[in-house]
């Protein structure tokens, strides 16, 4: 392939052709300074919109200052952990940045977590205080004696909206967030933060092994990744609109993609965040698009598909908006349809929780989406090129050290300032000489563009949400009828690029296959797993195929299922 190597960084030619910077002088600042700086420069600019209620940056700063003061008075000190488990809302931003201003670490948790996983994350993180939605309050209260939890702060979706109760209601067994804020002064404690070394965010993920771990992201990891992702294109898009643009907040902020690429990007350039609590609420997303005309719209492929399919949606309303996709593969046909109907191109990128998250971006596509056609080809299906100051190699899967020839698939490994500090609580864990092994199979062409070939073998991608096969397996094994089990991801013919969870089960002696038993197993899973991780299908087999090491042969099961779907005409 012309003798190009990964150390040659062939992607640098793209930066030169476009005229974008590959090196940045990243500010070493605490993450909460994003809000403080925006409030100082643009105090009256809108920081967020929530069910038609608008908030300024001055208001957001005051709320976060008040919470930091309150947490300090509750005994929270630098390095303590505080859990935040909320949907997209003002209280999410207040919670996260109030905790950071108190010098603590935010343990970010999904509101969709089943009870056992929530207790695991609370216990593992050692959270002393937990900020949660009232809908999860009773469950969290039960965990106080079994974890290090000392206090619970509760809020509801109605809070901070036009329909909030005039006075914060009493919440038995917890403090009400609005009341906590009202009783605190807007004077945060003075905490010395070392942005490069101090952890800001603890985010639980399966990593490359499929076993949930706490990813430690520092203030510097997170602030750096904002500039890596949007700094190269900021001069043409964000800087001229600073303090006067909006970002669609329809990605869950408890997911690192939404946390950085929607919320933090808006805060860095003093933009307004259009808060959408339910990522599936296409009607609300569209209404906000029409009313506020956001400059940026980060999303997952499923959201763009829904917009294509939703009745009454005129995608020409997206003119002037720059949509971009991540978290799951964007099917080329969806990108093509979207460009035809909306007149704008959806760009695609790549990242992981361990990298804050962005490592690759298709800058040519982003600029074209912003109306700046540079006359360069847009490589549909590519995740783009490495973002600034990021090194990437493709190595042999067997050895993990030998670089494969350019154009050949192998495991993608990454090094850069956005790469995590390590897995909680051990700095450096999960890295090899500073390199992160992604577990994803990829290839690079001679121009430096990367393509994902396959995903980690046991990870299932349901509309951009990660489902760990091992976690589903463990739940299946808890059912009394199950002898052997394997959860695999099979292609979703209705949502190209997404998968469905299918469970293959070998029954214990004394149990017979039946539709009733299938439904009982699904019901069992529904009680223990997030909705998106529950198997859609259950198939009983007399024997499950095994590898030579006596493990259930998941790849074989998946290949057999794909072949059956092709014969049935469900897949091409």
What domains, with CATH codes, occur in the chain? 57-192 (3.40.50.980), 459-567 (3.30.300.30)
Residue 195 has what pLDDT?
Answer: 98
Angle at 157 between CA 83 and CA 146, to 5 degrees: 30
Q: Phi first, then psi: what are they for 176, rounded to 5°? A: -90, 130
What confidence category does residue 261 fall into, taking pLDDT thresholds of 50, 70 and 90? very high
Q: What is the mean pLDDT of residues 211-234?
A: 93
Looking at the predicted structure, is the pLDDT value of residue 334 above 60?
Answer: yes
pLDDT at 1 over 50: no
Q: Would you state the pLDDT for residue 240?
A: 92
The most confident of the ranges 5-19, 415-429, 488-502 is 415-429
- Higher-pLDDT residue of 533, 368: 533
Give yes or no for a contact between 364 and 374, defined as CB atoms under 8 angstroms apart. Answer: yes
Tokens of 22: 């590959």
pLDDT score recorded for residue 206: 64
Range of lowest pLDDT (140-149, 458-467, 536-545, 557-566): 458-467
The DSSP code sequence of 485-496 is EEEEEEE-TTST
pLDDT of residue 28: 97
Say if CB 418 and CB 221 are below 8 A apart.
yes
pLDDT at site 212: 77
pLDDT tier, 208 (very low <50, low <70, confident <90, very high otherwise):
very low
pLDDT tens for 159-182 read 999 999 999 989 999 999 999 999
More confidently predicted of 534 and 331: 534
- Check: CB of residue 239 under 8 Å from CB of residue 387: no
pLDDT in tens, 365-394: 888 777 777 778 788 878 999 999 999 999
* Residues in CB range of 311: below 8 A, 6 or more apart: none
Calculate what percentage of the chain has a pLDDT beyond 70.
Answer: 96
Highest average pLDDT, of 289-303, 357-371, 454-468, comes from 289-303
Could you tell me what percent of the chain has a pLDDT over 90?
69
DSSP strands (E only) in 239-368: 246-249, 272-275, 296-299, 322-325, 347-351, 358-361
User: In the structure, what pLDDT confidence band is assigned to residue 13 with cuts at 50, 70 and 90?
Assistant: very high
- The mean per-residue pLDDT over the stretch 25-35 comes to 97
Which has the minimum average pLDDT: 43-47, 328-332, 334-338, 464-468? Answer: 328-332
Concatenating the DSSP letter of every residue in 109-149 gives --TT--HHHHHHHHHHHT-SEEEEEGGGHHHHHHTTTTSS-
pLDDT reported for residue 461: 86
Model confidence band, residue 454 (pLDDT cutoffs 50, 70, 90): low
Given a contact cutoff of 8 angstroms between Cβ atoms, the answer to whether 115 and 100 are in contact is: no
pLDDT greater at residue 34 or residue 377: 34
Supply the mean pLDDT for the chain: 91
d(Cα 346, Cα 365) in Å, to the nearest integer?
7
- Report which of residues 456 and 445 the model is more confident about: 445
Helix, strand and coil in the chain, % to nearest 5: 35, 25, 45
pLDDT over 90 at 265, yes or no: yes
């Amino acid at each position: 392939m012309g003798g190009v190597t990964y150390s040659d960084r062939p992607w640098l030619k793209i930066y030169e052709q476009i005229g974008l910077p590959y090196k940045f002088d990243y500010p070493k600042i605490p993450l909460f300074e994003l809000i403080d700086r925006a409030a100082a420069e643009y105090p009256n600019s809108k920081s967020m919109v929530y069910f038609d209620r608008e908030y300024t940056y001055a208001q957001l700063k005051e709320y976060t200052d008040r919470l930091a003061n309150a947490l300090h008075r509750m005994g929270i000190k630098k390095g303590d952990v505080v859990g935040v488990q909320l949907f997209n809302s003002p209280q999410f931003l207040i919670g996260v940045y109030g905790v950071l201003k108190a010098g603590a670490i935010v343990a970010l948790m999904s509101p969709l977590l089943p009870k056992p996983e929530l207790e695991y994350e609370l216990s593992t993180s050692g959270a002393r205080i937990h900020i949660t939605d009232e809908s999860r309050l009773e469950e969290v209260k039960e965990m106080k004696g079994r974890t290090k939890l000392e206090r619970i702060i509760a809020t509801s979706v109605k809070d901070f909206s036009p329909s909030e109760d005039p006075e914060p209601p009493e919440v038995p067994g917890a403090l009400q967030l609005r009341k906590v804020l009202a009783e605190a002064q807007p004077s945060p404690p003075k905490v010395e933060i070392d942005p490069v070394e101090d952890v800001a965010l603890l985010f639980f993920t399966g990593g490359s092994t499929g076993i949930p771990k706490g990813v430690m992201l520092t203030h510097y990891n997170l602030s750096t990744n904002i500039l890596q992702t949007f700094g190269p294109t900021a001069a043409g898009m964000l800087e001229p609109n600073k303090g006067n643009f909006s970002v669609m907040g329809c990605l869950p902020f408890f997911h690192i993609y939404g946390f950085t690429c929607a919320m933090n990007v808006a805060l860095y350039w003093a933009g307004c965040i259009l808060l959408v609590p339910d990522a599936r609420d296409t009607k609300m997303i569209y209404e906000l698009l029409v009313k506020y005309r956001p400059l940026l719209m980060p999303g997952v492929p499923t959201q763009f598909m829904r917009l294509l399919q939703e009745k009454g949606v005129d995608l020409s309303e997206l003119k002037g908006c720059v949509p971009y996709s991540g978290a799951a593969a964007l099917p080329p046909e969806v990108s093509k349809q979207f460009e035809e109907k909306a007149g704008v191109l959806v760009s695609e990128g790549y990242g992981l929780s361990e990298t804050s998250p962005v490592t690759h971006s298709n800058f040519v596509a982003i600029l074209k989406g912003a109306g700046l056609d540079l006359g360069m080809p847009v490589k549909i299906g590519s995740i783009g090129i490495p973002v600034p100051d990021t090194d990437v190699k493709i190595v042999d899967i067997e050895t993990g050290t030998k670089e494969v020839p350019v154009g050949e698939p192998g495991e993608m490994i990454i090094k850069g300032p956005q790469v995590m500090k390590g897995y909680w609580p051990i700095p450096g864990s999960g890295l090899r000489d500073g390199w992160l092994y992604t577990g994803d199979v990829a290839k690079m062409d001679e121009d430096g563009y990367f393509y994902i070939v396959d995903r980690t073998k046991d990870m299932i991608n349901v509309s951009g949400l990660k489902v760990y096969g091992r976690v589903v397996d463990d739940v299946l094994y808890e059912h009394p009828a199950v002898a052997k089990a394997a959860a695999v991801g099979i292609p979703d013919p209705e949502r190209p690029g997404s998968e469905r969870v299918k469970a293959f089960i070998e029954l214990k002696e004394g149990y017979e296959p039946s539709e009733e038993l299938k439904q009982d197993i699904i019901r069992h899973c529904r009680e223990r797993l997030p909705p998106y991780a529950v198997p859609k299908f259950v198939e009983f087999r007399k024997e499950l195929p095994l590898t030579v090491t006596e493990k259930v042969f998941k790849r074989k099961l998946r290949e057999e299922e794909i072949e059956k779907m092709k014969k049935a005409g469900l897949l091409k």
